[in-house]
Structure 1
Amino acid sequence: METISRLGVVGCGLMGSGIAEVAARGGLDVLVAETTPEAAVAGRRRITGSLDRGVRRGKLTEELRDLALARLSFTHDLGDMADRQFVIEAVAENRDIKTNVIRTLDKVVADPDAVLATNTSSLPIVDLSVATERPGQVIGMHFFNPVPVQQLVELIPALTTSADTLDRTRRFATEQLGKVTVQAPDCSGFVVNALLVPYLLAAVRMVAAGSASAEDIDRGMELGCAHPMGPLRLLDLVGLDTVESIADTLYDEYKEPLYAPPALLRRMVAAGHLGRKSGRGFYGYAS
């Protein structure tokens, strides 16, 4: 298999910045695309901050940090992705936005064998693949937050994804990014979120019903079930808007009540209480 040396990452939020950081630390030439020059600056700042924390914690040396930063470049023009061998989109969890990005990448990436991967939490991969002229090269590649820490990547081949694309993506994830992969079906939620999201939503319902406080729910699951983080703290980390979007997609596909977003979750999202990224969710966070 050809070794990937030129990676494109579209989007530099929490997930995109983490993917770009891991790839740069792995020795790849990484081009990151954001919507505006200002967003690109913010993305570079996010990656630099993460690498600096790694230095402070003894996870990497200053030299390795500087080498990783030197491998990163930024653009706000998707046309600059023309020479990439592998592109991962990590834009908002929205079907229309992701479809437009994948469709544009299909037009601009010159290598007909280049893999176009989508980092989606729940959207059907086949819907994205058929928007391109290369459906065999489109695959789901679901990373977990925070990407530099979490080992897992779910690989989701669509009915249209070629066996070669799946094999190349698995090797890329394991051999070049140092991740552990599981293969998931192209069904909303895949493996992890299909199990995780109903659990998170059940915790929200307990809070809404007054059955227990967020603190007691989290403490119970952390100490009683050895979970590293309780469900409400995990919701705040992931982002309440992200979980709402995933739940909507799951409910749209399965029509099961356990996937329906609770009213409290919708109210909190409407109020802008999105968790850590907004400074307030089920808990408060200092800016």
Structure 2
Amino acid sequence: MEKIIHPFDYPDRIERYLEKLKALNLENTNYFQLTKEIDENLGMMPFSGICIKKGTELFRARKNSHLKGKMFSALSELTIRIDEEITTFGRANTPCKGIFCCSLDQYTAAREVTQWQLDDFGALIRKGVAFFNYHPFTQFMTISKWKTKEDLYFFTAFNDNEFEVGTSNDLIINQFKLRYKFDKERYKISKAMVEAFFQSEFEKQTINGQFDYYFSAYYSSIVYNMAKHISLAGLIYKSVAFDLEGFNFAIPRNKLKSLEFVSADFCYTYNSNGKEDFSNSKILVAPSYRATLDENYRLIWEDVWGKT
């Protein structure tokens, strides 16, 4: 089979196209037409990746506010919401696609579920930023702890070598070599520009509506589709809610079997919303009840202070 020339062999074209994407008015853009055009102009996407070792602990937080003081009762309530409940785009999801989002530590997980709220017009705003000062707040939530059953591979939405596990150069370069012909140096230039573009989209702080997630959601959807066919667990990206200091993982439903539930804590949290206090901590997490599972996957809660 004759190899075809990949779009990345033309860095100037890639640069012009990315500038066009940056200039788009996304609010008036059809997502499906947009992604079709991106596919045509960027071709097969390059990815860099990392390996998360077996036994790594991951944390997922869920608010308890809708339970009116009660605690979750089943493991299913702590995993992935049903697809029909997902009606909007998110940083790492498209509508009707439930994703298991978790973090590398409990503090990042807590910030992720408390950092955003809806304003009076229904738009997402970052608490404190919209009012030009800090607004510390509290929240009751459940933070579940999970453990990886095996080494897991994740594609990244960044490529700056900050992650402590380390990065590989390009997990799908061999597929590129089989299907395309390209100059290695021109490919590297184009790849760096595309990665920088999508990294900036994942790290976008000003969110005026779900349309501001179009590019990151598109990137995520490609990863999840690839995870159906190769040994890939999902996506890792930096936490905007934790000022890019923490890491989030997005794992599609069919890869959730790679995680083992450990326990869950019902917590009182205090979020200083970016302001350093309490020994230079931005968020405090104080568990009061801890749950394990019974044979029917029900959560059995016990007071962590030993009260009866």
Larger Rg belongs to: 2
Higher-RCO chain (CA-CA 8 Å, sequence separation at least 6):
2
TM-score with structure 2 setting the length: 0.21
TM-score, with length taken from structure 1: 0.23
**Greater per-residue helix proportion:** 1
Which protein has the bigger strand share? Answer: 2
